[in-house]
């Protein structure tokens, strides 16, 4: 009986220790229409509003020259596609290749004039 208890205790310890509670990843997202500080602020707000849970805002990096956003997130809470769709919902096309996500047309039309002027 004692051996069964020890075996069960050992198995439970291994199972509990093996359970993942978070999976921190980083994704680099191409945002071709993001070309000024106002665009950066709009993308930052979109991430804060739509992808709050799981996104590590303090580790989000914007590269205007490369037109990319580097986002660190917990994949156990949010998927990278949800992050991309949040940016698209703000009016910006995401990832031109291999699977582009088009900008939400209503949000794109509502972008400030300076951000619309930058669009390719």
Percentage with pLDDT > 90 across the chain: 58
pLDDT digits (tens, 9 = 90+) for 81-110: 999 999 999 999 998 878 899 999 999 999
Domain residues for 84? 22-118
In a domain, 17, yes or no: no
Q: In angstroms, rounded to a whole number, what is the distance separating the alpha carbons of residues 90 and 116?
A: 12
Structure token digits, residue 27: 């994704």
Q: How many domains does the chain have?
A: 1
What is the CATH classification number for the domain harbouring 38? 3.30.70.100
pLDDT digits (tens, 9 = 90+) for 50-74: 667 889 888 899 999 999 999 999 9
Residue 20 has pLDDT above 70, yes or no: no
């Amino acid at each position: 009986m004692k051996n069964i208890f020890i075996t069960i205790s050992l198995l439970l310890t291994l199972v509990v220790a093996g359970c993942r509670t978070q999976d921190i990843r980083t994704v680099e997202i191409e945002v071709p229409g993001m070309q000024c500080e106002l665009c950066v602020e709009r993308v930052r707000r979109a991430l804060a509003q739509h992808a709050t849970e799981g996104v590590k805002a303090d580790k989000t990096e914007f590269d205007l020259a490369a037109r990319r956003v580097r986002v660190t997130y917990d994949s156990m809470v949010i998927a990278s596609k949800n992050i991309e769709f949040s940016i698209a919902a703000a009016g910006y096309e995401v990832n031109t290749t291999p699977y582009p996500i088009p900008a939400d047309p209503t949000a794109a039309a509502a972008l400030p004039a300076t951000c619309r002027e930058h669009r390719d």
